[in-house]
Structure 1
Amino acid sequence: MEYFAGLDVSMEETSICVIDQEGKFVLETKVETDPDAIFAALRPYAERLRRVGHEAGSFSPWLQVELQQRGLPMVCLEAYHARSALSAMRNKTDRTDAQGIAHIVRTGWFKQVHVKSEDSYRLRLLLTHRRNLKRKFLDIENAIRHSIKTFGLKLGAVSRGQFEERVRELVAQDSLIAGVVDCMLRARAALWQEYLRLHKLVVAVVSKDEVCRRFMGIPGVGPISALAFKTSVDDPGRFRRSKTVGAYLGLTARRWQSGTSIDVSGHISKAGDGEVRHPLYEAANIMLTRFKGFSSLKAWGLKIAKKRGHKRACVAVARKLSVIMHAMWRDGSTFRFKAAETQEKPQGKRAPKLLAATA
């Protein structure tokens, strides 16, 4: 008889539920959130366990790798998909969630999540904290700008390098305001210095990565876009077709269809990793606005911009970029600015006329 297990993981404890192939409960318990403790609870059933399911979360990369190394058939479930199934339960507890996950993996009605490699998570940590420092830096800058408006002090348009000097000049007449703003400016300067350190580290990592360097041969694609895409995809072989990468990153339209009267294509789904989608959108915008050279992709995007608007064109080009970058990664090619020209071979009785027309 085969067994199926569900794990509901929290910070301190993990609820475990084991059921047989008929859905009967075999084991329900709670253990410490630790691979050794979880494996010890499942050890008596390890030989006949077919699937051990857990939702994607903060601990899922760690538990997935550790428990797989111990020989358990781990399955990481997409949280959105699992939550929809678990919402049918009458009560919401850790115990019932573990029961629901066990039933999900027993029936096979689930969407498995790809758990990325440790190297990808390490590089994503670098990108995440770089982004966090930049956001905090901008938050402090905007807080200073808006707080002094209360006293009629208008900062106006000012460059980043002249920001501190201009602010100190405006608040110099009031010692209290000047003291408060001085603390904020020093915090801003410290954040900026640490942000630059992380940004230089990103550039250093990308400069040593052959795949990222090829990505940066695409107009508009910089080190952030290249590294974000590489760490998100992680393994190009897990996509059978490059076209599916756009859907994976949430850059394709959602569809509502029911019967014969309703069939609507809406906005993009925004599924997947938004921290990759945003850099790709920025890269597309740079290609369409700042890049002065010719590119077949740019020409295609400008045609869409004339018909549908600039924002839709940026989304379309971003989706194309994801497809192109995956194809480049998979076959080791470089970006071609101009599409390959193909000449149709004349066929049938019309061949002489076509040849004559092109002579």
Structure 2
Amino acid sequence: MRSVALDLGVHEISFCEVAGGAVVLRRTVRSLDSLEDLLGPSSSPARVAIEACREAWAVHDTLRNWGHDVLVVDTTRARQLGIGQHGRKNDRLDAEALAHAVERGGIPLAHVLSPHRRAIRHQLAVRRALVETRAQYVTTVRGILRACGHKLARCTTEGFLTVLSAAALPAETRQLVGPLVTALEMLTPQIALADAALEQLCTHEPVIVRLTTAPGVGLVIAAAFVSVVDEAKRFHHAHQLASYLGLVPSEDTSGGRNKQRLGAITKQGNAYLRVLLTQAAHTILRHKSGDDPLRQWANAIDERRGRHVAVVALARRLSGVLWAMWRDGTVYDAQSAAVASAKGLRLQAQSIEQQAQSMKEASVKARRRQRSIDKGLGATRATARSRPVSTSRRASMH
């Protein structure tokens, strides 16, 4: 089988094919379609290596459909393949190094996300952009009002426009923040639409509903967890998953040191999921009833090491709990969490009544979320009704 590598750049793709340890063909093109004569359906089968990047999944699917064996390379271990050796790194050399590695074998592979989980991740990215933009605008408006000598009452982000409209502000101040307020009025219903789309995608993933039975975990966190992990059984234990998510301490104990040196967490892997798990940990510590074992365990760490360490430790443990629930097909069980080891939860028999109760609690979360979506969609319809009718449409109505 042919040994081929592609270096996927933003504007160009570098193609390299090797045979017998020597380069036999190179080409630089603008798009993958330009390589159809070399890699198209009518070409001979090849083993093609590409580095994991934004375009990797789409290119992977296209090459697979063309009949090739596609190897998506783990970029965190790309140096061991010779990429960037001796300080020389460009697209042509990277493609050549990858092609030689294909011929040698032993390429470290990255996981290729399943198509439906990709759709969930893309929808989460849209929702995240909208939510972060809304939060930024709210912060900016509050800052401008403070600079002008006005302070608004504390409120949720969703209720900010209501509080702002009820505040006694001078006309010139309202005019100053008017463009941001207009943008906020459009963002809230768009977020509701994104939530509804995400809800629809999650209906095809029963595991997401099970994960929401855990404390502090709602639909967004559960969906993000599933879209990143993809398959629970590809991790052998909970610590391996925590390392994949960057929630384990960094280590520097080489050089024959007798004492293990641990530092801050590595922060490798998906940053968004790591943030969401940290937010869930904060929620458990703030709002969960005191008898939950996860909260009690984190409180004990809080007393010894401080709140920040406790939150990160709880986020790491929560990732293991969610992984074990997914692996074993169970709902959250506080008793199991109380006796769980650092290696993950052991499978315990759960009564039908216990699972039913947990799923009932998850349905309460779902109804609360649906009310929020309906409220946002109602704002969309209200905005549409209040929008002025154009002259052409007004003429057609008469």
Global fold match (TM > 0.5): yes
The corresponding residue for 1:41 is 38
Q: 1-side partners of 2:338 and 2:243: how far apart?
A: 28
Q: 2-side partners of 1:132 and 1:100: how far apart?
A: 37
Counterpart secondary structure, 2:335? coil
**1:16 aligned to 2:15?**
yes
Q: 2-side partners of 1:120 and 1:304: how far apart?
A: 35
Go from structure 1 to structure 2 and tell me whether the alpha carbon gap of 1:7 and 1:159 turns closer, same or farther (over 3 Å shift).
same
Counterpart secondary structure, 1:202? helix
Q: 2-side partners of 1:289 and 1:171: how far apart?
A: 34
State the 1:55 CA deviation: 1.0
The corresponding residue for 2:385 is none
Does the CA contact (< 8 Å) of 1:294 and 1:337 recur in 2?
no
Go from structure 1 to structure 2 and tell me whether the alpha carbon gap of 1:80 and 1:154 turns closer, same or farther (over 3 Å shift).
farther
The corresponding residue for 1:26 is 24
Structure of greater relative contact order (alpha carbons < 8 Å, 6+ residues apart)? 2
In structure 2, what residue type is equivalent to 1:251?
L
The 5 Å alignment of 1:58-77 reads 58-77=54-73
In structure 1, what residue type is equivalent to 2:24?
V
Go from structure 1 to structure 2 and tell me whether the alpha carbon gap of 1:341 and 1:100 turns closer, same or farther (over 3 Å shift).
closer
The corresponding residue for 1:305 is 302
**1:209 aligned to 2:208?**
no
The 5 Å alignment of 1:181-260 reads 181-206=177-202, 209-260=205-256
**1:132 aligned to 2:129?**
yes
Does the CA contact (< 8 Å) of 2:6 and 2:13 recur in 1?
yes
Does the CA contact (< 8 Å) of 2:225 and 2:273 recur in 1?
yes
Does the CA contact (< 8 Å) of 2:152 and 2:167 recur in 1?
no
**1:172 aligned to 2:163?**
no
Go from structure 1 to structure 2 and tell me whether the alpha carbon gap of 1:212 and 1:92 turns closer, same or farther (over 3 Å shift).
same
State the 1:56 CA deviation: 1.0
**1:141 aligned to 2:138?**
yes
Higher mean displacement: 67-76 or 154-163: 154-163
Higher mean displacement: 236-245 or 312-321: 236-245
Q: Deviations over 1:246-272 (max 9, x none)?
A: 111111111112222374111111111
Q: Deviations over 1:117-149 (max 9, x none)?
A: 111111111111111011111222222222344
**Alignment counterpart, residue 295 of structure 1, candidates 278, 287, 292:** 292
Go from structure 1 to structure 2 and tell me whether the alpha carbon gap of 1:107 and 1:307 turns closer, same or farther (over 3 Å shift).
farther
Q: Deviations over 1:261-316 (max 9, x none)?
A: 37411111111111111111111222222111523333222222221122212222
Q: 1-side partners of 2:167 and 2:238: how far apart?
A: 55
Q: 1-side partners of 2:94 and 2:129: how far apart?
A: 32
The corresponding residue for 2:390 is none
State the 1:105 CA deviation: 3.3
Q: 2-side partners of 1:108 and 1:97: how far apart?
A: 16
Q: 2-side partners of 1:206 and 1:292: how far apart?
A: 28
Does the CA contact (< 8 Å) of 2:161 and 2:181 recur in 1?
no
Q: Deviations over 1:10-58 (max 9, x none)?
A: 244311111124x211111123422x543531469844x4x32111111
Q: 1-side partners of 2:239 and 2:149: how far apart?
A: 52
Q: TM-score, normalised by structure 2?
A: 0.76
The corresponding residue for 1:79 is 75
Q: 1-side partners of 2:235 and 2:160: how far apart?
A: 48
Number of paired residues? 334
Q: Which runs of 5+ in 1 are unaligned?
A: 343-359
Q: 2-side partners of 1:182 and 1:235: how far apart?
A: 47
Indicate the RMSD between aligned Cα atoms, in angstroms: 2.7
In structure 2, what residue type is equivalent to 1:4?
S
Q: TM-score, normalised by structure 1?
A: 0.83
Q: Deviations over 1:49-72 (max 9, x none)?
A: 4x3211111110011122123221
Go from structure 1 to structure 2 and tell me whether the alpha carbon gap of 1:290 and 1:178 turns closer, same or farther (over 3 Å shift).
closer
Does the CA contact (< 8 Å) of 1:130 and 1:198 recur in 2?
yes
In structure 2, what residue type is equivalent to 1:285?
H
**Identity fraction in percent:** 27
Does the CA contact (< 8 Å) of 1:155 and 1:167 recur in 2?
no
State the 1:86 CA deviation: 2.4
Counterpart secondary structure, 2:252? strand
Does the CA contact (< 8 Å) of 1:212 and 1:226 recur in 2?
yes
The corresponding residue for 1:280 is 277
